[in-house]
Amino acid sequence: MINMGIDKLIETPPYALDKNQKSQALLQYLIDLTNWHYENSTAYHRILDASGYAVSDVHSIEDIPFIPVSLFKDYELLSVDKDSIKKTMTSSGTTGQKVSKVFLDAETLNNQRRVLAKIIASYIGPSRLPLLILDSELAIKDRALFSARGAGIMGFSVFGRDITYALNHDMTLNIDAVTAFLTKHRETPILLFGYTFMIWQHFFKELAASDITLDFGKEATLFHVGGWKKLKDQAVDADSFKKSLAKQCGILRVHDYYGMAEQLGSIFVACEYGHLHSSIFSEIVVRRHIDFSPCDIGELGIIQVISAIPHSYPGHSLLTEDEGVILGEDDCPCGRKGKYFKINGRLKNAEIRGCSDTYAAKF
């Protein structure tokens, strides 16, 4: 097998490798990463020993051992000395919920930034664009709020210039700031970022209630994330979300993405056809409820996410609390290689944890 390493992977376009090429590029790297965490994390070592893990049993990416994402709520999982940690990230959570704690060293932080930049640039190009954040600046200024929500905003801020916040601190729409931003960048492609429920509740619905229509231009691109549960309760799905924004704001390029605090950086972005895609930095496996064996294409199961990024903690292969379906591999109409899939929702009795849904529950 060829071990390209993370630097070689980053030199490769994020959706350029087909199934065989990706396996050749990624498998040995993931084996080495698993062994790194096995040797350097006592808790992870014990988990793999209890599961009977052996390197000789790993013949494909699907054989990489996984741990439940919920472990990060109960244990401090590290593979480096704690004094090398530069940032501790927490997941979103409603009142009373435990939150995950993820420990990031310099190498992991750097890899997160580089991978995220590579993925987003494949959609918007390499240049920084005027950026409108559909949130309040309080999300990054108030340390009590600085969890996955603040991290998402900070992560996307590196792709923008003249960064403007569309919402006031009380989450009301700052229409003056939005219209001034639009006037200033009338001739320039615009980038927007926000969390799904907040965009709908505090941006779109306030515009609609005030009968205000905006024109962001055909070149505007919106990235949003955070879960759909609370919007589906309002009979809002991805299609109606896109159509409503197109009608109210003229935004035609809308990309949802799937990601989590435990694997920041290696996000799964939805293409023009609404399919979530795995890049060369990550993989998606769907597993059967009964025995955790890999599902066939089109078969509903539990989502496992695999990432090449985590170095400081054993979060490279996680069994989530989400259900989904792999729709295909290497044959999406958008032309991007790799697996593409959809998320059907949370497992029954699983806690709400997406940034949008946890905010919506409090809201």
d(CA 104, CA 9): 20
Which of 258, 280, 301 delimits the end of a domain? Answer: 258
CATH of the domain at 10: 2.30.38.10
Q: What is the residue-averaged pLDDT of the chain?
A: 89
User: Looking at the structure, do residues 245 and 270 belong to the same domain, yes or no?
Assistant: no
% residues pLDDT > 90 (the chain): 75
Range of the domain at 178: 113-258
Q: What is the pLDDT, as a whole number, of residue 155?
A: 84
Reference 338, options 295, 275, 254, 279; nearest CA is: 279
The count of domains in the chain is 2
Provide the strand spans (E) within the chain: 67-68, 85-90, 101-105, 129-136, 160-167, 191-195, 221-225, 253-258, 268-270, 276-277, 282-287, 301-307, 317-329, 339-346
End residue of a domain, out of 196, 230, 258? 258
- Per-residue pLDDT at 176 exceeds 90: yes
- pLDDT value at 353 more than 80: no
> 311 and 224 share a domain?
no
- Summarised one tens digit per residue, pLDDT across range 234-257 is 778 889 999 999 999 999 999 999
The model's pLDDT over 39-77, given as tens digits with 9 standing for 90+, comes to: 999 999 999 999 999 999 999 999 999 999 999 999 999
pLDDT of residue 238: 87
Are 25 and 48 part of one and the same domain?
A: yes
pLDDT at 22 over 50: yes
Residue 348 has pLDDT above 80, yes or no: no
**Does 363 fall in a domain?**
no
Question: Which comes out higher in pLDDT, residue 236 or 182?
Answer: 182
pLDDT tens, residue by residue, 310-328: 999 999 999 999 999 999 9
pLDDT band at 347 (very low <50, low <70, confident <90, very high): confident
Asked if residue 181 and residue 126 are part of one domain, the reply reads yes
Residues 174, 250 within the same domain: yes
Query: For position 179, what pLDDT does the model report?
Result: 96
Given a cut of 80, whether residue 354 has pLDDT beyond it is no
Q: Which of the listed residues 258, 292, 314 is the one where a domain comes to its end?
A: 258
